[in-house]
Amino acid sequence: MHEPIVVTGLGCISAAGNNIEAFEECLFSSKVQKTIAPVTLFPLSKGENYLAAEVNGFNKSDHFNKNELKLLDRYAQFAVVSAKEAINNAKLNIAEHDATRISVIHGTSIGGQETIEYSYAQLFEQGNKRTHPFTVPKLLPSAATSQISIRFGIKGPSFSTSSACSSSGHAIAMAVLMLRSNLIDVAVVGGAEACITKGNFIAWDGLRVLSSDTCRPFSLGRSGLVIGEGAGTLVLEREFFAKTRKANILAKISGIGMSSDAHNAVQPLAEGAQQAMQAALNDAKLSCDEIDYINAHGSATSQNDQLESQAINRIFADSSSTPWVSSTKSSHGHVLGAGAAIEAIASILAIQRQEIPPTANFIETDPLCAINLVTEQGVKTEVKKALSNSFAFGGLNVSLIFEKY
């Protein structure tokens, strides 16, 4: 029996809000949100109709000085901003504790994509002979982790995880294992992504999965996913440590489940999703009856939503009650490597509010997605236990279970 691991701090920046308060307000609102719109972060060429869930009203100079910005790609800026909010929210004064027993584990799918494309443009379009000397430390997928560690003086085992759209889910899972093993007392975990760039969108477009109108998870008429940007960070602690320092405990993370489809580079497999959810239930020692809410991966691609529905229905086939399901990607977009962290936060907010956030932009039930989907407006109901799914390209799956504390 391992010591319980608890959540004591949340931080978030996304199209659905630049802090937790704004994010919560947007997520649970029944009003139509204008979080998804044509791309503004790069100029669209004729015939390009790319949509994105961009962070709005973010002025990097409000958060960082000129010298700091030289080393911070947009994705790392988001990571640091969300980490700062989470650490403040946890009222965690790192200087008062053994910093060698505090970790940063932050995931990203791509890392400094903006820096990569800017540097390539300098070299291959503008004829520059070389790029700025900080290009490498700025673009690394581990840069966000390093910058959080440097800024807050966190000296424990720290690293980045990268597993496409499950990156921050794996970050959370790794942190839970390190906390359970008593290697560390606290983990600052999450993920960040900022890849609304021309090159990246052209590449994604080639996969024919980008939406042409908006993000409509599990709905008939859905046309694909909408890429978002932002970051989510959680502060996780061993329960004893949190109680000793009299922290405000927001939730318990009781189950982590991971699996690999071993199937296809882009096509998901229901069995892999099912395996991850079952592993999380086993880890939390829960039966499927006890899950009140599933924050689905729900990417709004035709394939994911059908196969995830199949997997959910297989897991809950023998359950006496059917859990509510929603996909908050309809509000904050598909934030790739940050998605699992942002959706973990959404799941914890659902527990705190005792309310399921809606799946926005829903039109009509897809008979191939026969799940108990919350649409249009949130449902006030008892939410003691929530399961959050993240399924990545390449079949890398993570399911996390959060419980009311």
Partner 1 sequence: MLKIKQQIHAIIRDYTEASEAEYGQAKSFAELNIDSLSMVEIIFDIEEAFDIKIPDETELDKRGLAINNFNDVLTVVTQLVEKK
| Contact footprint for partner 1 (CB under 8 A) | 67, 70, 132-134
The answer to whether 360 and 331 have CB atoms below 8 angstroms apart is yes
Characterize 15-39 residue by residue with b for buried, 16 or more Cβ atoms within 10 angstroms of its Cβ, and e for exposed. Answer: bbbbbbeebbebbbbeeebebbeeb
Return the structure tokens found at 299: 């990417």
The answer to whether 8 and 248 have CB atoms below 8 angstroms apart is yes
Secondary structure tally for the chain: helices H, strands E: 13, 15
Residues 6+ apart with CB under 8 A from 253: 5, 6, 7, 172, 176, 236, 400, 401, 402, 403
Known catalytic residue at 288: no
Return the structure tokens found at 202: 């052209």
Q: Please report how close the Cβ of residue 133 comes to partner 1 at its closest, in angstroms.
A: 5
Residues 6+ apart with CB under 8 A from 121: none
Q: Please report how close the Cβ of residue 70 comes to partner 1 at its closest, in angstroms.
A: 7
Given the residues 106, 170, 297, 332, select the one marked as catalytic: 297
45 versus 65: smaller Cβ distance to partner 1: 65
132 versus 384: smaller Cβ distance to partner 1: 132
130 versus 246: smaller Cβ distance to partner 1: 130
Given the residues 26, 165, 195, 215, select the one marked as catalytic: 165
How far is it, in rounded angstroms, from Cα 347 to Cα 342? 9
Q: Please report how close the Cβ of residue 108 comes to partner 1 at its closest, in angstroms.
A: 23
The answer to whether 364 and 273 have CB atoms below 8 angstroms apart is no
Known catalytic residue at 170: no
The residues with which 107 forms a beta bridge, in sequence order, are 161, 191
91 versus 132: smaller Cβ distance to partner 1: 132
45 versus 67: smaller Cβ distance to partner 1: 67
Q: Please report how close the Cβ of residue 132 comes to partner 1 at its closest, in angstroms.
A: 7
Q: Please report how close the Cβ of residue 144 comes to partner 1 at its closest, in angstroms.
A: 18
Q: Please report how close the Cβ of residue 73 comes to partner 1 at its closest, in angstroms.
A: 16
67 versus 93: smaller Cβ distance to partner 1: 67
Instruction: Using alpha carbons only, give the angle 100, 232, 265 rounded to the nearest 5 degrees.
Output: 100
Return the structure tokens found at 183: 């290697």
Known catalytic residue at 334: yes
For residue 167, the surrounding DSSP H or E stretch is helix 167-180
Annotated catalytic residues are 165, 297, 334
